[in-house]
Amino acid sequence: QKEVEQNSGPLSVPEGAIASLNCTYSDRVSQSFFWYRQYSGKSPELIMSIYSNGDKEDGRFTAQLNKASQYVSLLIRDSQPSDSATYLCAVNRNFGNEKLTFGTGTRLTIIP
């Protein structure tokens, strides 16, 4: 079992719809969870972090964390073509500047 699992996609979503990206992790004691967006040929960009169970909203993005189910998700509302990218889920066993464990990423395509 991989430590952090994501559906590789590609996930195609019509423009204006909600894109839902999912991630599961195996280390039950993980504390910090992150979503990065990576455009082709560019480095990853941090878009959301979440540490507590529940939802965290930032603009069109909502991160959801369920530690009991070891599940973290990212919802993108009103999807735009510019949201087309690979989304990486990352998990830290602790808080702080320590090694992240990344999923392999989900490729999202927003269809105009």
Partner 1 sequence: GAVVSQHPSWVICKSGTSVKIECRSLDFQATTMFWYRQFPKQSLMLMATSNEGSKATYEQGVEKDKFLINHASLTLSTLTVTSAHPEDSSFYICNTGLAGGNEQFFGPGTRLTVL
Which of 60, 93 has the CB closer to partner 1? 93
Nearest one of 109, 83, 106 to 13, comparing CA atoms: 109
**Which 49-108 positions form the footprint of partner 1 (CB under 8 A)?**
49, 51, 88, 92, 95-100, 102-105
Q: Is 81 in contact with 35 (CB distance < 8 Å)?
A: no
Which distant-in-sequence residues (6+ apart) come within 8 Å of 12 by Cβ?
Answer: 109, 110, 111
Residues 12, 15, 16, 42: which binds partner 1 (CB under 8 A)? 42
Contact residues for partner 1, defined by CB under 8 A:
32, 34, 36, 42-46, 49, 51, 88, 92, 95-100, 102-105
